[in-house]
Structure 1
Amino acid sequence: MPRPLSVQLYSVRDQLADDWQGTVRRLAGLGYGAVEPYDVLVDPKGHRLVLDDLGLTVSGAHALHLLAPDPGPALDAVATLGTDLAIVPAGLPPEDFTTRDGLARAADRLNSLVEPARRHGVRVGYHNHWWEIEPRFDDGEGTRSLHAVELLADLLDPAVFLEIDTYWAAVGGADVPALLRRIGDRVAALHLKDGPGTKEDPNVAVGQGTMPVREIITAAPHARRVVEFDACVGGPDALFDALAASHAHITSLEAA
């Protein structure tokens, strides 16, 4: 049975600031069974109690503080929230993804988190944007070029997973289903979002833009699915309508 569909809470960051409990309750009312927090150091125990009361699980957690000199507090918070996936959402220099030496530095930084994460009972992973996709590298045999994230994957400790943001991967020039098939089991989670395929424009409901959602889900059936909106046209009601439409579209594809 597939895991419950999740939503990245950054999508509703403004609403959370006004009413955290009411906002996650509204997400549960839309049918979402899980959430992906992004600010884990803020009251993880209290948030866990609210989520448990609503029957919501935590599919994973973004924690920029994993890159702090001491990642322990972030790992403690991730474990407290009840998930096994601790995700570095950004924070590595974008220029590191433009050279092989830079990619080695990025991999070393992520690999250094494997043992601390293991001591907390979680795994550590990395979430991409477009700048890990746009740079291309020769595969060493002259047969094809690799996206930077593919070369990164080859340098990572086997315990480090990837959360592929499928929209940013497409914006960066990837054939997303093909990329997912090549990376394979390294992909533990997907960000599902949709839109016109540009860096600047806001997102639309999943299934109403340019993304090949069915093919993406088929290419990584094992991965946890997380809906996200970086921005959405309209006010709060428009955002929640788009979240509802995204949930309906993805669940219909999975039921087909």
Structure 2
Amino acid sequence: MGTPVTAPISVQLYSVRHELADLDATLERLATAGAQAVEPFSVYDRPAELAAAAAANGLSIPTAHAPLLSDTMRFSGREVPVPPATAAFGAARALGAAILIDPMVDADRWRTADDVARTADRMNALVEPAAAEGLVVGHHNHTFEFHHRIGELTAYEHFVSLLDERVALELDVYWATAAGEDVPALVERLGSRVRALHLKDAAKALDVFAARGEYDPAVLTQCALGSGNLQNDAALAAAPAQCIPVIEFDHVGGDVLTSIAVSIAHLRAAGSHHADAAGAIA
């Protein structure tokens, strides 16, 4: 651990969800800002078009999100059925992604050992079918995975202990911090399982999920990397060299593409990105 990052700097496309109406122009601006990769927030949203636009702008798509562990998801105030995992695998292949990550498992499924075991079993059952398609499956956290304890461990770390070692973890630094975790220490404990980190800064991370219910993303007061107090640099330094740094904002004041460019510049200046990779985007 603590070795220079050699993975590409990526941007979670949820950050620019409003700008994606003009897909080509937005990806061109991300590439100009220094991004080397992007992470789709839904593999089902124009995968062929997105793959072509990314390639045209020199951007790879190493990771992507798709709901793999739920039968339904809440969308625009209603429950909608989730396509089967095989559909997600096909869309991920169309994107050229290598790691397919479940973005959110409902808070009610992290309360007891049985709840956690059922989710872990469901994830483990996808490992071999995904491998047959050339994919790795993974999980992305929020805060509620840390709200309950199973024995001596948080529900999150208990979940990890039950997973097939081939399952990837995408640790969100903001949400883990909001849940009260020492994130660099957590990254050290998780070790090589951490394949990607979601990075965003703030003066203080807020656990909006503790209150349950809807929230305005503006209350998160997220800002460009290096502008706040979160331990993004330390978390990245503690991660494996091949861990992908993924810049993401749920909401940021001003022009989000400017905040992304500032964040990329911070990663370079902080020395947390390998010199060869930095030179490739200079």
Fold shared, TM-score > 0.5 on shorter chain: yes
Question: Is residue 232 from structure 1 mapped to residue 235 from structure 2 by the alignment?
Answer: no
Match of residue 27, structure 2, among 24, 27, 51: 24
Deviation of the 1:115 alpha carbon: 2.0
Q: CA deviation at 1:186?
A: 1.1
Give 1:136's match in structure 2, choosing from 125, 145, 149: 149
Conservation of the 8 A alpha-carbon contact between 1:189 and 1:226: yes
2:197 to 190, 199, 204: 190
Moved more, 125-134 or 214-223: 214-223
1:252 lines up with 2:274 in the alignment = no
1:15 equivalent among 13, 19, 25: 19
Give the counterpart letter for 2:133 in structure 1: H
Structure 2 residue 230 is matched with structure 1 residue 217 = no
Structure 1 distance, partners of 2:269, 2:240, is 15
Q: Distance in 1 between matches of 2:174 and 2:128?
A: 31
**Residue 142 (structure 1) aligns with:** none
Matched residue type, 1:159: R
| Structure 1 residues not aligned, in runs of 5+ | 140-145
| Correspondence for 2:126 | 113
Match of 2:77 in 1: none
Q: Distance in 2 between matches of 1:77 and 1:66?
A: 16
Asked if the contact 1:96–1:102 (Cα under 8 Å) also holds between the matched residues in 2, the reply is yes
Secondary structure in structure 2 of the residue aligned to 1:189: strand
Residue among 179, 204, 211 paired with 2:186: 179
- Which of structures 1 and 2 has the larger relative contact order (alpha carbons within 8 angstroms, sep 6+)? 2
Report the Cα distance in structure 1 between the residues aligned to 2:147 and 2:187, rounded to whole angstroms. Answer: 16
- Determine whether 1:54 maps to 2:69: no
- Give the equivalent residue in structure 2 for 1:103: 116
Partner Cα separation in structure 1 for residue 191 and residue 225 of structure 2: 23
- Tell me how large the CA RMSD over aligned residues is: 1.7
Task: Check whether the contact 1:34–1:58 (CA below 8 A) recurs between aligned residues.
Answer: yes
Question: How far apart are 1:93 and its partner, in Å?
Answer: 2.7
Q: Contact between 1:87 and 1:124, CA under 8 Å: does it hold in 2? A: yes
The change in CA–CA distance for 1:27 and 1:216 in structure 2 (over 3 A counts) is same
Q: Which runs of 5+ in 2 are unaligned?
A: 71-81, 209-218, 276-282
Amino acid across the alignment from 2:63? G
Aligned pair count reads 245
Report if aligned partners of 1:202, 1:230 keep a CA contact under 8 Å in 2. no
Q: Is the 8 A contact 1:134 1:173 kept in 2?
A: no
Q: Distance in 1 between matches of 2:268 and 2:93?
A: 28
How far apart are the structure 1 equivalents of 2:17 and 2:221?
15
Could you give the per-residue CA deviations for residues 60-94 of structure 1, whole angstroms, max 9, x where no partner exists? 0011266446211111111121121000001x231
2:159 is matched by which residue type in structure 1?
Answer: L
Alignment partner, residue 202 of structure 1? 221
Task: State the AA in 2 paired with 1:219.
Answer: A
* Matched AA of 1:118: A
Identity %: 42
Secondary structure in 2 aligned to 1:78? helix
